Amino acid sequence: MRNPTQLTRRLSPRRIARAAISSALAVAAVALLATVSSAHPSRDDRDFGTEIIPSLGLTRAVDGDQARAAAGLAVRAPLVRGLLDTEVGVSYRSQEYYGGGLTVRSWPLTGSVWFTPLAPLYVGAGAGWYNTSYRYAPGSPYADETTQKLGLHLGGGVQLPLSRKAALDVSGRYVFLSSESSRLAAGKFNPDSWTTSVGLAFRF
């Protein structure tokens, strides 16, 4: 199990600021979609309870070889109506490193708090428990392994209403994870990643 203090030490003010600025730009770009949408949600349109949100998206690790598909399922509910939402989610993502020599697969369980006073926009942060497997290419002399570690994330998104009971949820987040060592190369690699996703929020 990774030491959570390793992750805390890596969260320098510069890295956090860069991720926050990038997240804000991503949310602003998504918000542009809302301004051209014919549906303009009022406060009453956000007056609902629990949401179930299946989603599909793309994830790209900072040191990864390419963007890969990701899938997720989240449950979101108001904590303070019109101000704060809470969310619990599970997802799956896979990323290759070193030209396919190492494949990292992760099944994170995450919790988030989203600020929602500017609905349909939301921004926030959270933490997750990342069950991660490391699989080396066939023929490699190294044994596969699985670890569990803590991760943090910043993100946000926008919901475009489709009906009273459904909405399109477009979001992005930056995930902070502790550095990893690889037997394939000297030193460490950075597993931090970006994820963008599109989901369908079913409201109850």
The pTM of this model reads 0.75
pLDDT at 12: 59
Tell me, what CATH number does 197's domain have? 2.40.160
Q: Is residue 43 part of a domain?
A: no
Q: Is residue 160 part of a domain?
A: yes
Q: Is residue 25 part of a domain?
A: yes
Query: Is residue 16 exposed (0-12), middle (13-18) or buried (19+ Cβ within 10 Å)?
Result: middle
Q: How confident is the model at residue 21 (pLDDT cuts 50, 70, 90)?
A: low
Q: Is residue 46 part of a domain?
A: no
pLDDT in tens, 152-202: 999 999 999 999 899 999 999 999 988 777 677 666 778 899 999 999 999
Q: Is residue 45 part of a domain?
A: no
Residue 128: give the domain boundaries: 4-34+63-203
114-168-91 Cα angle (round to 5): 60
- Number of domains comprising the chain: 1
Q: Is residue 100 part of a domain?
A: yes
Ramachandran bin of 180, using left for φ above 0, alpha for ψ from -120 to 50, beta for the remaining angles: beta
Alpha carbons 111 and 120: distance in angstroms, whole number: 20
Q: How confident is the model at residue 66 (pLDDT cuts 50, 70, 90)?
A: confident
Q: Is residue 55 part of a domain?
A: no
Q: How confident is the model at residue 63 (pLDDT cuts 50, 70, 90)?
A: confident
Q: How confident is the model at residue 65 (pLDDT cuts 50, 70, 90)?
A: confident
